[in-house]
Amino acid sequence: MSKIAIMGAMMEEVDPFLELREHEPLLKHFKKHNDIEYGGNIYHEAKFKNHDIVLAYSKIGKVNATLTAATMIEKFGAEILLFTGVAGGINPQLKIGDLVAATQLCQHDLDITAFGHPHGYVPEGSVYVKSSTVLLQIAKKVAEEKNINLLGGIVATGDQFISDEAKKEWIRKTFDADALEMEGAAVAVVCDALRVPFFIMRSISDTADAGAVEDFDEFLKHSSQRSSSFILGMLDKIVDGQIK
């Protein structure tokens, strides 16, 4: 049986999986959990239909996301990683609450163009990291069953909260990106290097423009709930044997 990691960046993004009672997190959807502190973070180990689960939020940014994803794989033995959270929409077709499944991820703030490389390029690597084809297929099935319009698209990651129209358009055009966030590509690089299938789900909380801060604060909870609900639907199919 595969051990499955479920990860978000903020408490609000994993909160839908947790129920807070007297300031103690009790896993809502899972059983027999242990809370383990490691590297300044809390990891929840649990069972879901007899499959091992590890759940955590990393805190914001690429470095924190890298640390948490690597810990889930190397220390806790995760063999599949599912990421849930919110993002800014930069595809004009996206509106707040829409769901985006990352088909590829890139780092929009990685710049060594002075050496003749394209934006986002890493020597001995590539601009884009591709998500698991199998997990994307499972996501498509879940979307069909739930009658959800799921967009497969490119997600651009950087250590910046984008609320500037010009910067947003530059990222969209440079990377052909659909959504912006601050962790996904870092998780993708870790999983790709360690050969762990991964899936990054983002629900749109803002449109990365002048109103992004206000929209983000208002719609964070609702968008997080939509993303986590979808991840739970995928988890059902994974533990039922639809991925090996």
13 in catalytic set? yes
Query: Cα separation of 191 and 130, whole Å?
Result: 10
Residue 121: other Cβ atoms inside 10 A: 18
At residue 17, the pLDDT reads 72
At residue 98, the pLDDT reads 87
At residue 148, the pLDDT reads 87
* Domains defined along the chain, listed by start: 4-242 (3.40.50.1580)
At residue 25, the pLDDT reads 58
What six digits make up the tokens of 69?
A: 């994803």
Choosing from 52, 98, 206, 215, the catalytic residue is 206
At residue 217, the pLDDT reads 55
Choosing from 12, 13, 52, 192, the catalytic residue is 13
What six digits make up the tokens of 9?
A: 């960046």
Q: What is the pTM of this model?
A: 0.88
At residue 161, the pLDDT reads 82
Residue 12 makes CB contacts below 8 A (sequence gap 6+) with 220, 221, 224
Query: Cα separation of 77 and 231, whole Å?
Result: 20
Residue 43 β-bridge partners: 36
Question: CB–CB of 83/228 below 8 Å?
Answer: no
The distance between the two most distant Cα atoms of the chain, rounded to a whole number of Å, is 56
Residue 84: other Cβ atoms inside 10 A: 29
Query: Which residues of the chain have a pLDDT value below 50?
Result: 22, 210, 212-213, 215
SS3 42: strand
